[in-house]
Chains A and B, each alone.
Chain A
Amino acid sequence: MQSNFKAYLGVDLKKGFVSNIYKYVVALFLFLFLSFELFFSQSQENESLIFTTTDLWFYIFQGMPVYEPSNELPFIIPLQWMIIQILPALLVLNYPTKDLYSYGIQEIVRLRKRCNWWISKCIWLVLSIAAYYAIAFLCVNLVSLFFGEYSFSFNHEYFELFYSPNSDFEKTSFVMYILPLSTTITISFFQMLFSIIIKPIYSFFIVVCYDIISAFYCFPLLIGDKTMLLRLSLFESGKVDFEITIIINFILFIFTYFIGSLYFSKMDFIKKG
């Protein structure tokens, strides 16, 4: 049975990635655009600034500082961050359900185990989101290699000019690479589960709303804002603790996986009208 699952997994991953190929191309252009934008906007103001790979990464995933509601400061949705979060939601949008109610029926009957289909989709999801962040990583690497400084440390001049980092933030730059990825995977898991329980389009809007609420309220279970690097406790204004967030992400990830397994093992395969 294991070799059967392996064969199925290979086919499933290929189908899933090919169905999203255009979305990955959009992601590539988006991340290239954002990387170049930093260069061109900042170098006009200060020609001496040289950006490193991590500077670019930070710029792309910075989000917004923790929002403190007040009359003078209205809440404005951080558009750049929102677009970056919507793209993974589009990646997860309809492949699992589309597959489930078409070709997937033939596969499930042959797999003879419902859980194998679910496990395969979970692996596809993790790899899909990882590929999305890998594209971002590739873009910042390429742009910094040719136009800036290929380095995983920060440009102090730039950071101290625009942000207020704590003294130990330099040592933990890897956090900036891991946290957005793990958080997006966890949120995408909710989305995939909802898309099977309700409808893909509803689950998409639920996730978008969840992200917006997360940007507005700071609460441990509203993890959407954990993809905003400016909210990391590495910065003076930040409240997001890396270790706690990773633990919460992991717990939610496992929880969603088991709820999904349970639901899928009992669900009726009938297309929702």
Chain B
Amino acid sequence: MKIKIENLTKTFKGSKVLDNISISFDSGKIYGLSGRNGSGKTMLMRAICGLIRPTDGFVEFDGKRLWRDISFPPNIGVLIENPSFISRYSGFKNLKILASIQNKISDEQIRTAIQKVGLDPFDKKPYRKYSLGMKQRLGIACAIMEDPDIVLLDEPTNALDENGVKLIKEILMSMRENRIIIISCHDKEDLEFLSDEIIMISNGKLKN
């Protein structure tokens, strides 16, 4: 799998939130997007997911171009901004509902993903009673449960303690083979700990 981004520009209300970005991502690596709040990290992730339409340029997945050949990337797992689930359902039920859309993993695989992030897959507690850290972990479980080729995690360490960050590192390291993993984080230390290659973004532009 290869992601190719070429001259990607996105303009909102006259201002460029992504400015002529060209970059490639290859399988087997964890890429870390670094930058201040509002620098364009989340917007770049949204563009890769197909959630925003580029004003100029394109995003390609193994030669298939978003917005022309495909509407969304094939086989992607995402956590963008804060995780959001149905508040009255348990973590497992929430993930089961989402998994039913593609219907390609079993209940056991969903439970394994929940267990991986350090949650109890048999916990009946509704999502609204989860702590912030638990919500974040469930969001990560949701992104990885279907064994995607591309994993995009926006601020995955939010609300996680030191052990939580270590656990995420272990999960990402165990998954990196044959996958593209892109994470964003405003905490430089966490990002350096989690990623193989750091990409700096400032004012919507890539910094060398």
Contacts and interface: CB of A to CB of B under 8 A. Distances in A.
Interface of A: 3-4, 7-8, 11, 15, 18, 102-103, 105-114, 266-270
B49 to A, nearest CB: 6
B23 interface: no
Contacts of B70: 112
Contact of A4 (B52, B84, B101): B101
Given A4-B103, A105-B84, A112-B70, 20 more contacts: A4-B102, A7-B100, A7-B101, A8-B100, A8-B101, A11-B97, A18-B88, A103-B86, A106-B142, A107-B98, A108-B72, A109-B49, A109-B50, A109-B51, A109-B72, A110-B98, A267-B53, A268-B52, A269-B51, A270-B12
Interface of B: 12, 46, 49-53, 70-72, 74, 76, 78, 80, 84-86, 88, 97-98, 100-103, 142
A109 B86 contact: no
B85 A103 contact: yes
B100 A11 contact: yes
A109 B100 contact: no
Contact of B46 (A15, A267, A269): A269
A7 B103 contact: yes
Contacts of B49: 109
Contact of A268 (B53, B80, B142): B53
Nearest to A266: B53
B68 to A, nearest CB: 13
Q: Which are the 3 A-B pairs with shortest beta-carbon distances? A: A102-B84, A269-B51, A110-B101
5 contacts: A11-B101, A103-B85, A106-B142, A269-B52, A270-B51
